[in-house]
Amino acid sequence: MEGRALQDVMKGHCYGCGALNEVGLQIKSHWDGGELVCLFQPKPFHIGHPGIVYGGLIASVIDCHSIWTALATATRDEGIDLAAGPLPFGFVTAKLEVNYLRPADIGQVLELRARVVDRGVRRFNVECQVLQQGQACASAAVVAVRVSNAA
């Protein structure tokens, strides 16, 4: 599925990534080699200081993209097809640590690049970089925990 948005394959209602949530952020993540990439254009109302993206929005996009990175890595490594139906598991955020490196311009696309750097049976450690025009705006470490989707 390299190049294809995973959220278009497995549609959900999540505020950050849900293709079925018309008022959500609707991020789109796709494989680019060994990284999951998301290009996100902030809207004018995502503003913090004049001309600058609100830091909470950056944290939200990192959070959701990192969870997708853990999910995509697990399904890829276990040979599970995202399009085959509901998954028996998902991921939730256990820890989100964001380092803001420079202000992000509200008028420019945010490029997120994430990868799993360590994993256990249930815990996946994800590193995520937020870039604008090749310059790092933020970096994050996320601990994603695998949970059962059984009702």
Give the residue, 93 or 81, on which the prediction is more confident: 93
State the pTM of this model.
0.92
Q: What is the residue range of 37's domain?
A: 6-148
Least confident of 1-15, 72-86, 101-115: 1-15
% the chain with pLDDT above 90: 74
On the question of pLDDT at 1 being above 50, the answer is no
Query: Nearest to residue 16, comparing CAs of 37, 50, 40?
Result: 40
* CA 8 centroid distance within chain: 14
pLDDT by residue (tens digit) across 27-76? 899 999 999 999 999 999 999 999 999 999 999 999 999 999 999 999 99
What is the spatial distance between Cα 95 and Cα 18, in angstroms, rounded to a whole number?
Answer: 21
Query: Nearest to residue 143, comparing CAs of 82, 96, 84, 80?
Result: 96
Predicted confidence band of residue 84 (pLDDT cuts 50, 70, 90): confident
Residue pair 73/147 in contact (Cβ under 8 Å)? The answer is no
Predicted confidence band of residue 3 (pLDDT cuts 50, 70, 90): low
Distance set, CA 70 to CA 52, 65, 97, 114, 115 (Å): 29, 9, 16, 9, 8
- Is 1 domain-assigned? no
Looking up residue 57, the CATH number of its domain turns out to be: 3.10.129.10
Counted domains in the chain: 1
Predicted confidence band of residue 23 (pLDDT cuts 50, 70, 90): confident
On the question of pLDDT at 113 being above 50, the answer is yes
Mean pLDDT of 113-118: 98
The overall average pLDDT reported for the chain is: 91
- Is 104 domain-assigned? yes
Contacts 24+ apart (CB under 8 A), 118-125: 119/73, 121/146, 122/146, 122/147, 123/94, 124/69, 124/70, 124/73, 124/74, 124/91
- Is 36 domain-assigned? yes
